[in-house]
Amino acid sequence: MGLGFDVHPFSADPRRRLVLGGVTLPGELGLAGHSDADVLAHAAADALLGAAGLGDIGTHFPARDPAWEDVDSMFILTQVVDMVAEAGWVPANIDCTVVAEAPALAPHCPAMVRRLGEVVGAPVSVKAKRAEGLGAMGRTEGMACWAVALVEEVGR
Instruction: Please report which confidence band the pLDDT of residue 143 belongs to, taking 50, 70 and 90 as the band edges.
Output: very high
Predicted pLDDT at 156: 65
Is the Cα dihedral 86, 88, 92, 94 positive or negative?
A: negative
pLDDT by residue (tens digit) across 59-118?
999 888 888 888 899 999 999 999 999 999 999 999 999 999 999 999 999 999 999 999
How many CB atoms are located within 10 Å of the residue 85 CB?
Answer: 15
Q: Tell me the C-alpha distance between 113 and 84, whole Å.
A: 20
Q: Tell me the C-alpha distance between 151 and 14, whole Å.
A: 38
Report the CATH number at residue 102: 3.30.1330.50
Predicted pLDDT at 17: 95
Domain that holds residue 115: 2-153
Phi-psi region of 139 (alpha: psi -120 to 50; beta: other; left: phi over 0): alpha
Non-local (6+) Cβ contacts of 152 within 8 A are 89, 90, 92
Full-prediction pTM beyond 0.85?
A: yes
How many domains does one find in the chain?
1
